[in-house]
Structure 1
């Protein structure tokens, strides 16, 4: 991944995770950078990548459960990251995603490719 692409992705992700709090944004940026450095310095990158994917997936799922309104900005972030993957500036590894929905939750899961979902309220 180019350094510029990483910085843009890190900044946008930290902004989403911080929900507008500048101090939280800095903490999230540090967390993302720590994750990156752990992966880059790992002897067993596959194992560390799996661990980091689990950590970040859990954080994002928790955020979506707590505040479903972040789905559109998260979708925009995913599209932004996908554009860098398509251009070759980011390499993606294997992805495994497990999800469960409760009550009025809606979800869509796709292992690869591009997917855009629009969920509509079923309320009258």
Structure 2
């Protein structure tokens, strides 16, 4: 079964939120919440080891490696979550709630609403910047 773009985006957002929380002060609470979600939705408890090893790899990565490793780890978790929601569609609502929960935890550096959609016509120019953009 192929996932809808919305569902694939939800899984990617969840993977990104999870990985961002791995390097935050909210990790212990985020980890427990995420692990509970996995166990309740039929994913083996052995994922606990994966969560811990992924966090340790991010913690030990150099600043130069951290961004690429975080992107790769987020994509891997997104794929795992896609597999989980394909097997258990009832988990979709809980996954969306989990993203919000982790993003609201004190000390969290999770990005929970980062969608951008732009479109330029003929000869048009779109510029998006999170901050400090100088043109010209």
Normalising to structure 1: TM-score of the pair? 0.62
Aligned partner of residue 108 in structure 2, secondary structure: coil
Among candidates 35, 44, 48, match of residue 24 of structure 1: 44
Deviations 1:48-85 (A, max 9, x none): 1011001101111111112110012112211111212x
Alpha-carbon distance change, 73 to 92 in structure 1, aligned in 2, over 3 angstroms? closer
Deviations 1:66-120 (A, max 9, x none): 2110012112211111212xx5x12247x9xxxxxxxxxxxxxx7449xxxxxxx
Distance 2:80 2:59 in 1: 21
Greater RCO, CA 8 A, separation 6+:
2
The RMSD of aligned alpha carbons is 2.6
Flag as ranges the 4+ runs of structure 1 deviating above 4 A: none
- Alignment partner, residue 90 of structure 1: 108
Aligned ranges 1:22-61 → 2 under 5 Å: 24-25=44-45, 27-43=46-62, 44-61=65-82
Aligned partner of residue 68 in structure 1, secondary structure: coil
List runs of 5+ in structure 2 lacking aligned partners: 1-23, 117-136
- Alignment partner, residue 132 of structure 2: none
